[in-house]
Amino acid sequence: MTDLHRHAPLRVALVGLGTVGGGVIRLLNTNGDLIARRAGCPIQVTAISARDRSKDRGVDLSPYEWVDDMTTLAGRDDIDVVVELIGGADGPALTLARQCLTAGKPFVTANKAMLAHHGLALAGIAEKSGVALKYEAAVAGGIPVIKGMREGAAANEISRVYGILNGTCNYILTTMEKEGRGFDEVLREAQELGYAEADPSFDIDGVDAAHKLTILASLAFGTELDFAHVATTGIRHVIAADIAEAAALGFRIRLVGMAENGPDGLFQRVHPMLVPLDHPLAHVDGSLNAVVAEGNFVGRLFFQGRGAGEGPTASAVVADLIDVARDEYGDAFAMPTAALQPQHPADAGKRIGRSYLRFKVQDRPGVLAEIAAATRDAGVSIESMIQRGANQDDGVLVAIVTHAGEERCVHATLDRLAGSDSLLDTPMVMHILD
């Protein structure tokens, strides 16, 4: 473990100078004295590295040594800890992480994709070298959910962890909800405001949330990370009518990442869900994130706050640096990697719950009977069925809420209707949060 004298500065190399990297520098400059008192020593950025040396980042970089080859940082004795903010599951970020941890240098990252794919291997290297692998900024931005799960809830058996893990999707859904506008229009606005990337696929297709859920599931259940088996559906196909129907039924639509571990295996899913109005997730608006963990002694824990952006993410990075300065390391995933259990994926078809199904169908007699027959034959019990009038495409919308039953029956209903000329579009299925 790196020998840090209590009052000697913690010397930091910062790799990646985008929004978060600049935020880390600003935060250390603004709150430096307070941070030093809490850390027991000053925390100083010593070296910096990024792809473009000439880019104006809105912060004075002249006090810091510019390093063109970031791979040299792992072997430098004048660097105590490396912070990686360049992103990407593989490539330079992964190479840097391996080099630093192998060399016995603490490593701080906001890279949820890298951790979801390679976190187990990196944690093993950190253990062998006796150094910290810290990643509070990788999940839910400034919300201290990693520390809360790894430390505050460490004595509990967690039965379920779930939440709103992507601020872009939450902004789009809640804006559609409040203003009655369509998905494409709100997405364009989110891009103009900087809430969504020019290519928003990672966000709106649920991949970003799935990366974060993978990490939370490992922390919550003591299982190996298993991104490959996160069933992932984004919000591309949620329409304004879904939002309206959900509201009429007493729900709000949120993209929810959910993980449970039980006798049938590890269940992990990112999916738009109907959330009851009396559930706290229904009131998480805009770009906020929220995480719920249910422990057998502590009960329900609810974490909410800003899940992205310069300030919140920089705050999480610097909190990890304070831990490094204090020599507060701990195992990356709350226990030694050898204690993390492999787990097979649970069969989602056996899950019991209610579902919302939306069909766009031909405006002609017999269509409702066809849908009702398909649900009956699949073993689905209908709680309510709503038909809305014809739209500009000469179709009608039919929305169904089911009684509680096995999810496989819902999908069997869709299989029975597949290929029907009554359907004008692919049906939408959203499960209801119990």
**First-to-last CA distance in the chain?**
46
Distance from CA of residue 152 to its chain's centroid?
Answer: 20
d(CA 327, CA 323): 6
Length of the chain: 434
Specify whether the CB–CB gap between 99 and 74 falls below 8 A: yes
Cβ–Cβ contacts within 10 Å for residue 382, how many? 14
In the annotation, is 212 catalytic? yes
Specify whether the CB–CB gap between 105 and 81 falls below 8 A: yes
Specify whether the CB–CB gap between 375 and 413 falls below 8 A: yes
d(CA 374, CA 368): 10
Q: Is 281 exposed, middle or buried (0-12, 13-18, 19+ CB in 10 A)?
A: buried
d(CA 265, CA 240): 35
**Assigned token pair, 317:** 């990075």
d(CA 362, CA 343): 45
Q: Which of 112, 134, 212, 360 is catalytic?
A: 212
Q: 35: closest CA among 303, 304, 326?
A: 326
Reduce the DSSP state of residue 13 to 3 states and report it.
strand
Q: Could you give the angle at which helices 167-179 and 240-248 cross, rounded to 10 degrees? A: 70
**Assigned token pair, 31:** 């709150």
Reduce the DSSP state of residue 229 to 3 states and report it.
helix
Reduce the DSSP state of residue 5 to 3 states and report it.
coil
d(CA 155, CA 136): 20
d(CA 333, CA 132): 11
Active-site residue set: 212
